[in-house]
Structure 1
Amino acid sequence: MGRAGQALKQVLNTYGISQNQLASAMGIGRSTVNHWVNDKRDPLADTIPDIVAALERLDKASAQDFLVLYLGRTVYLRNSP
C-alpha cells in the first residue's frame, strides 16, 4: 500500500471518520476514497492538499496526524481564518 493510503486508513480509523464523510467533504465519490485506503490506487500528489483541507474541516487533529504519518515528520498547519 502506498504511504498516503496507509496514512489515510489509519487516520480514518483513529478519528472515526468514515470514507463517506471524507468523500463528501472533498466533493468526490466514496469509491475513490475506498480505492485509496484499500490499496487499489494512490491519491495523486496534487490531491494531498485537498485531503488535508477536508480532514481539517472534519477534525483538525486528524489532518495533522495524516501529514505526520504521510511525511514521516511533524508539520505545522497554518491557522485558518
Structure 2
Amino acid sequence: MGKAGKALRQVLEAYSISQNKLAVTMGIGRSTMHYWFNDIRDPSAEAVLEIRKGLRKINPEAAQEFIQLYLDESDESEE
C-alpha cells in the first residue's frame, strides 16, 4: 500500500514506540493504529499530520524521521 504505513512501522520499531502508546497519545483507537502499522489501510493526509504531532510529543526525532521517510521520493524514477 502506501508509504505512510511503511514509514510508521519503521519509526515505531526504530524508536521502540508501541502502537498503543502512539494511539493513546493521538487519542485514537488501537485498531486504527493497527491498520496503519500493518499497511491494511492508509492514513489520510490529515492523519499523517496527526501522527507527526503524536510522535513529536513522544520523541521529536521520531517525528522528524517519520516525515523524512514519508516524503522520501528516492525510490521513484526521476526520468
Q: TM-score, normalised by structure 2?
A: 0.88
**Residue of structure 2 equivalent to 1:32:** 32
Shift of 1:31: 0.9
Partner Cα distance (1:52, 1:39) in 2? 17
Name structure 2 gaps, 5 residues minimum. 74-79
Deviation readout 1:33-55 (Å, 9 max, x if unpaired): 11001111000011111110000
Partner Cα distance (1:9, 1:41) in 2? 13
Point out the more displaced range, 10-19 or 45-54: 45-54
Larger Rg: 2
Name structure 1 gaps, 5 residues minimum. 74-81
Measured on the aligned residues, the alpha-carbon RMSD in Å equals 1.0
Which contiguous aligned blocks of 4+ residues in structure 1 show a shift greater than 6 angstroms? none
Identity of aligned residues (%): 52
1:50 equivalent to 2:50? Answer yes
Q: TM-score, normalised by structure 1?
A: 0.86
* Structure with more contact order per residue of length (Cα contacts < 8 Å, sep ≥ 6): 2
